[in-house]
A and B are shown apart, each in its own frame.
Chain A
Amino acid sequence: MIAQRKVISIQGKPARDPAIIDSSVKIVECIRTAMVGRNGGVALNDNLVAVANTRDREAFAELFGHFAPRIKAFMLKRGCDSAAAEEIAQMTLVTVWRKATLFKPQKASAATWVFTIARNLHIDTIRKSKRPAPDPTDPFFVPMPEKPADMSIAEQQDANKVQAAISTLPSEQQDVLRLSFYEEKSHGEIAKQLGVPLGTVKSRMRLAFGKIRNVIGDIE
């Protein structure tokens, strides 16, 4: 393990020996498998914090190995061709590096945070449209009231837990979530594709979200 990690840190320098790159990608893959199998969500969160605090290249390599191939798969589902999907995956990881200090482990899991980065990059660069968002530095922004220290949201929103909750939903509810999150379809498009009324799509969405929120923790 120690020897392998050394190889990865060589990647930190611009040196580009293809042999080293190839082997390091394999090693990253091994580390990924080893770490994600057991309690992967927490390891990923820790890696992100390490990148934020110490610009840790080894931690970044692990994040890359885990997330880049998933973001590529995600973008293929959103209709990107292979080159565009790869580009968004790369840009997402570059953004993870640059904005790691904005990751708040008590607010979201690493997977959720990375999802939002990929989502926004896709809207900006591929769809070339806008998704307005609140600005926490704006004087009119109403901050969160202080809450008593509770189980961290990241713990509650652990991707495995949410995934398990999704898998218990009736399949027609899972379908609307997948069409919405993977394929970025509007409610109208989902209704058309499934051949059901718009109101049905909305009620499935409402039921699905309600159940998942129960798992994540009662928010309201």
Chain B
Amino acid sequence: MTIQHHINDPLLVSYASGGLSEGWSLLVATHAALCPTCRDRVSAAEAIGGALIEALEPVPLSHCAYADVIGRLDTNITVETDVAEKPVVLAESPLPEPLRSYALVSQDEVLPWRRLGLGAFHIPILMQDTTMSARLLRIPAGRPVPEHGHGGLELTLVLSGAFMDGEDRFGPGDVQEANEDLIHTPHAVAGEDCICLAITDAPLRFSSRIVRMMQPLLNI
């Protein structure tokens, strides 16, 4: 997969610092799982954290701190490795971790798609952070995403298929950023349904009156 649209610098630095909220982090991390380039960039941003820690004036610990830590080591002798068992592979699922864990009802079953109107489907994703909304969107091949403006920032990560927004094509792994000024009508490319993760910090405002009326019912 050739990714054209990456995570922007400020968002990536914020993810590395730890200051990014859960919703944005979910999208950044899912993109990073698909994009070695952005993982490198996250490492570079984390090096800023390392350097800033080195620059801090040390604050002495209590005099028993070292002995306390040594005491805790003796009870924790398990050596951790990064080779873990991961038997679950969902058939036809384009969902990489950490997204998949958020979209599962059980070990091997994804939450059900819900009808969104105009042929589209979605799966609302529950997060601990309720100030943002996250959902999977499925836009039928060749069909438009209902026209909408944004009350805030919206990030969309394509998982499978592709969509066009004006001249720009967004395929698997690509991230689109839309701010409050943008009113756009992206549409899925023919041939394959487009599945993407959409995160927003404000409710979407659909321009279509019918969709707008249904919005409270759909919880989008």
Contact = CB atoms under 8 A, between A and B. Distances in A.
Given A115-B50, A180-B13, A206-B9, A131 B73 contact: no
Contacts of A79: none
Chain B facing A: main interface SS? helix
Interface in A65-106: 67-74, 76-77, 85-86, 89-90, 93-94, 97-99, 101-102
B33 A90 contact: no
Interface of B: 1, 8-10, 12-15, 17-22, 25-26, 29-30, 32-37, 39-41, 43-74, 76, 78-84, 86, 89, 94-100, 102, 127-129, 173
Interface of A: 11-12, 14, 16, 18, 21-22, 24-25, 28, 60-61, 64, 67-74, 76-77, 85-86, 89-90, 93-94, 97-99, 101-102, 107-116, 118-120, 122-123, 129-145, 153, 157, 159-160, 162-163, 165-166, 177-178, 180-182, 184-187, 201-202, 205-206, 208-210, 212-213, 216, 219-220
A42 B67 CA distance: 26
Contacts of A110: 50
The residue among B14, B15, B44, B95 with the most chain A CB atoms within 10 A of its own CB is B44
Given A134-B33, A140-B33, A140-B97, A11 B128 contact: no
A98 B82 CA distance: 12
23 contacts: A25-B63, A70-B53, A76-B59, A93-B69, A94-B69, A94-B76, A109-B47, A111-B54, A115-B49, A115-B50, A116-B46, A123-B18, A130-B22, A130-B128, A133-B32, A140-B94, A144-B39, A162-B47, A163-B51, A184-B19, A186-B20, A202-B10, A212-B48
Given A101-B79, A205-B14, A212-B44, 16 more contacts: A11-B67, A14-B71, A16-B67, A94-B69, A111-B53, A115-B46, A116-B46, A129-B22, A130-B128, A134-B32, A140-B96, A140-B100, A186-B19, A187-B10, A206-B8, A209-B10
A144 B36 contact: yes
Contacts of A85: 59
Contacts of A166: 48, 51-52, 55
A210 B9 contact: yes
A163 B22 contact: no
Given A11-B70, A133-B29, A206-B10, A163 B54 contact: yes
Nearest to A32: B58
Contacts of A73: 56-59
B54 A160 contact: yes
Contact of B46 (A24, A108, A185): A108
A35 B97 CA distance: 40
Contact of A64 (B26, B41, B66): B66
Question: Could you say which of B12, B70, B71 has the most chain A C-beta atoms within 10 Å of its C-beta?
Answer: B70
Given A111-B54, A210-B9, A216-B47, A21 B63 contact: yes
Q: Which 6 A-B residue pairings sit nearest by Cβ, starting from the closest?
A: A112-B50, A69-B58, A140-B96, A111-B50, A162-B51, A132-B98
